[in-house]
Amino acid sequence: MSEGPLISVRDLRVGFATEGGLVQAVDGVSFDLAPGEVLAIVGESGSGKSVTAQTIVGLTRSHNARIEGSVRLGAEDLVAASEGELQRVRGERIGMVFQDPMTSFNPVYRIGAQIAEAIRAHRPAVGKGEAREQAIELLDSVGIPEAARRVDDYPHQFSGGMRQRAMIAMALALEPEVLIADEPTTALDVTVQAQILALLERINRERGLATILITHDLGVVAEVADRVLVMHEGRIVERGSLDEVFYSPKDPYTRSLLGAVVRIDGAAPLRPPRTSEPLLEIDGLVKHYPVRRGLLRREVDQVRAVDGVSFTLRQGETLGLVGESGCGKSTLCRAALQLIEPTSGSVRFEGREIAGLSRREMRPLRREMQIVFQDPYASLNPRKRIGQIVGDPLRLHGRASGGEARRRVLELLKRVGLSAEHYDRYPHEFSGGQRQRIGIARALALRPKLIIADEPVSALDVSIRAQILELLAELQEDFGLTYLFVAHDIGVVRHVSDRIAVMSEGRIVEEGPADRVCEQPSDPFTRKLLAAVPIPDPRQARARRQAAGLA
Amino acid sequence: MGAFALRRLGGMAAVLFAVSVLTFLIFNVIPNYDPAVRMAGKSADPQLVASITEEWGFDESLPQQYLTMMGKVFSGDVISYQGQEDVDERIVEGIPATLSLCIGAAVIWMFFGVLFGYLSAVRAGGLLDKTLTILAVAGISVPVFWLAAVLLNYLAYETGLFPAQGYVELTEDPVDWAYHLILPWITVAVTLVGLYSRVLRSNMLDAMGEDYVRTARAKGLRDRQVMSRHVLRNSLIGIVTLFGLDFGAMIGGSAILTEAIFNLNGVGLYLYESIENLDLPPIMAIVLFGAFFVVLFNALVDIAYAYLDPRVKLGSEAR
């Protein structure tokens, strides 16, 4: 391989013609990618980082896109290349991994067939059987257990982490020179994220594969990158080695990005233990789902989603509930709210047993307990205006109507950091962070005592997370709220919680004051969760990796 | 998979039972008038009415009447008292013509519906797309009887290019069979070609925005491979549902107008004649015959679904 950059991007500009005029998504971006290096492009949603990455292989080409500048891969200019020439480059010389492994595989084809398709698209001489053999080898090399059997699974039979591994295997199928990973871990749990990052790093080390890593998460960057570009509003505002960008950032935007990161190792605010009255007491809560099979749908097994959970939540405190996807934490929340009927166990709210209450009996209690959901995109009705969404609970519970409801909604919007002009807008006009504020305003409308926040910041950019967490803390102070804060990232949970409960396979494996759980974890699972949190500090990340390497 | 299919067929039996009970109630109980008189027809003598009452057990309890009726339907024992003929025999006689009409039309409507839908989607916004859109909307809007009349007038009577009516057995002369069926096929297919091409176009445009299509392009697949293997394949799942429903209903009597206009001696024409004469036994039998096909194809669609979309099958096993 000759010296000099593998990919050389010069003055790349990408604009999209929309009804509102030309939107300049990428505005004069230049950089080089050296052989064997990991280059991270960091920025918030909408900074143009994904558009830059996809434009390299021509995936943003469309009739309303204007692409200028040059992208050189060796002697070839990919901006000027024909579609046919680009097709030879995609997969063969540049492999791509995308954000959401749930939707990035075609659901109707087997995993192995989709990998084989990538191989045969470029090597028509390779037979189907041979391509399948190669797919098995590839799956095995990215750590899919029993690859020879799993190769014939459909995507929905894989977990999120396995799908992302398979996606990486597919990108590696033709031994490309460059791997572009576009937010490869954003949709994953922190523990799975740590595994995928380790895999990417191993591939980079073993194959010397040059990698462009697109991410919004500086913690991820610190773990794997050699060099960093920071993008903001379509431009590169900062570039340098990992240490330069982290320890001597020049641009104010980079500094604000670094400042916004919620750090697990940072000093948490001191919290005196609460001695107030219990608000929510859960005792021996169990939720089993039957597994039915066969012609007569006989119950052959049970999924123990929640398997005997007990805890007490005192008035005004925050309990952080942490665990991986599928550990039962969402089921626990829904059972606590009586949205699903628990199999057994007791749920007491202000000392009153609510497990087994009818819908009608629950109705007055619903005002007291509200939920904030993970996905601010899916949980707001796209056809309703914000004023209506936030005001609906008031009207439904007969608390206020007409002008009074409007006045209270405006007050709420202001309280969560939105303004009166947002009242008549629709959800799609808002960013993810603003939508989560709307979700919070809706939950607050009835002045509840308890708010269950189910992964409220997982779908948000790191820089937005801090703002939402701050808002939740302020609201707790002002309204005397009690939070059950659910998340897969123990770093986020530590920041907001008085106490933390760690959940695994339907049970709580460890519970205690937040600092104690994070600093002296007693359960191996807690230690695993803590180790998975990416630390936005390259030196510490290196030290941790070395320690792990020696251990 | 086998269990899923069996369970689905079990459900089908239950639906058929419900339909048969409804049919029984509608024909023999709800009218509140002696069913034997209505069955016997316009010029019935008391003797015939008495023998019908005896034969169908109309003086017995309702459940017994229902059982008698089902027994007669299943043993092919239903008789048209007006036409003095065996109803099941007439239905069986009509099946070849009806099947020829429906299957031929189905081939045409599926082929052109998918072809036009595909071309529209691939060239979305272009001249071809716009032309096909206009044609499709025109096709959907045209009433069957009007289209049939126009085709008959211009292609049969005035120019004599095609025969105006009649049915020739496939076994007798395949060429003549197709020649006689071309106009009826077109009549049945036009509306559905328009409908299917519109549905497929919109399904495909939705699918093009999916992440897995971007993945397919990122693998370096050629445009045509991306379109056919990923976009079209996934969009066809919805078309299969439509097809099952339409085809079942078509065999079950939806082609009645076309059969009547082109004088095709099929089940639809028989139904048409029976309705004209208010001849109850054949109407009843054909309603059950039609229901059977609608329900059958519904079940087949569900089973096909499990093959086309692996999530369906496994989704039902998991919970």
For A419-439, write each residue's pLDDT tens digit.
888 899 888 888 888 888 999
> What's the pLDDT band for B306 if we cut at 50, 70, 90?
confident
pLDDT at A428: 84
User: CB B223 to CB A83 under 8 A?
Assistant: yes
Q: Which A residues 479-498 touch B at CB under 8 Å?
A: none
Mean pLDDT within A524-543:
86
Mean pLDDT within B170-197:
91
Tell me the per-residue pLDDT of B32-71, one tens digit each, with 9 for 90 and over: 778 888 888 777 788 888 888 888 888 888 899 999 989 9
> What's the pLDDT band for A301 if we cut at 50, 70, 90?
confident
pLDDT at A110: 94
Close Cβ partners of A304 (under 8 Å, ≥ 6 residues apart): A286, A288, A328, A505, A506
> What's the pLDDT band for A272 if we cut at 50, 70, 90?
low
As a whole number of Å, the CA-based R_g of chain A is: 25
Instruction: Please provide the DSSP assignment of A403-423 as one string.
Output: HHHHHHHHHHHHHTT--GGGT
Q: Which residue's entry shows tokens 């194809």?
A: B297
Tell me the per-residue pLDDT of A406-420, one tens digit each, with 9 for 90 and over: 999 999 999 888 888
pLDDT above 50: residue B319: no
Best to test chain A binding among B211, B215, B226, B305 (most A CBs inside 10 Å) = B215
pLDDT at A319: 93
The lowest-confidence range among A538-542, B146-150, B223-227 is: A538-542
Angle at A328 between CA A322 and CA A334, to 5 degrees: 100
User: CB B218 to CB A87 under 8 A?
Assistant: no
pLDDT at A465: 84
User: CB A105 to CB B212 under 8 A?
Assistant: yes
How far is Cα B60 from Cα A98, in angstroms, rounded to an integer? 71
How far is Cα A170 from Cα B41, in angstroms, rounded to an integer? 73
Which residue did the predictor score with more confidence, A52 or A273? A52
pLDDT above 50: residue B315: no
Q: Determine contact: A362 vs chain B, CB below 8 A.
A: no
Angle at A440 between CA A434 and CA A443, to 5 degrees: 150
pLDDT at A37: 93
pLDDT above 90: residue B201: yes
How far is Cα A338 from Cα A409, in angstroms, rounded to an integer? 27
> What's the pLDDT band for A3 if we cut at 50, 70, 90?
low
pLDDT above 90: residue A456: no
What angle do the packed helices B2-24 and B310-318 form, to 10 degrees?
Answer: 90
Mean pLDDT within A97-110:
90
pLDDT above 60: residue A267: no
pLDDT at B44: 73
pLDDT at B163: 85
Chain A and chain B share a number of CB contacts under 8 A equal to 88
> What's the pLDDT band for B159 if we cut at 50, 70, 90?
confident
ipTM: 0.81
pLDDT at A399: 81
DSSP bridge partners of A97: A181
Instruction: Strands of A242-391 (E only): list them.
Output: 278-293, 298-314, 318-322, 344-349, 352-353, 369-372
How far is Cα A202 from Cα A199, in angstroms, rounded to an integer? 5
Q: HSE (CB half, 13 Å, CA atoms) of A429?
A: 11
pLDDT above 70: residue A266: no
Tell me the per-residue pLDDT of A161-213, one tens digit each, with 9 for 90 and over: 899 999 999 999 999 999 999 999 888 888 889 889 999 988 998 888 999 99
Shortest Cα distance, chain B CAs vs residue A370, angstroms: 28
Which residue did the predictor score with more confidence, A296 or B301? B301
Mean pLDDT within A482-489:
92
